[in-house]
Amino acid sequence: MKTSEFLGQFSHQYNWPDLFLGVVLYDNSLLHEHEWLQIRPEMFQRPVHQKLWAVMAPAGAEGKLVCPIWLSQEMSDDPDFEAAGGVRYLADLVDAGSEVRDLQKGLLDAVSQMLRGRPA
């Protein structure tokens, strides 16, 4: 299945960066398993996504638990984070990530390819 077809299955429900971040928050072990850690914060369009990834990726690479409570503390002074909804926004991300837990690897690989500009 092509990346675009895979992502098309969910396009009516989710914003891709939200879903990507939610899947990672839902299952931190993914931070240690995939080449997509090469994704840089500036590859995300929204500042809140850039800032979240800038905190999540290094912490996960160091083996830290990246959970909504910890992340909300790390982001507590950020106006973009608060404007997005703060800890409630993170809870919504985790909810979205949990809904596709059986498809996590495929989803992460597909979104990773899109963020890195590879053809779908």
Domain boundaries, the chain: 3-115
- CATH of region 3-115: 1.10.860.10
Given a contact cutoff of 8 angstroms between Cβ atoms, the answer to whether 68 and 90 are in contact is yes
pTM over 0.85: no
Q: What pLDDT is stored for residue 120 in this prediction?
A: 46
Q: How far apart are CA 106 and CA 112, in angstroms?
A: 10
Q: How far apart are CA 59 and CA 78, in angstroms?
A: 18
Tell me the pLDDT tens digit for each residue of 33-79: 665 567 788 888 899 999 999 999 888 888 888 999 999 999 999 99
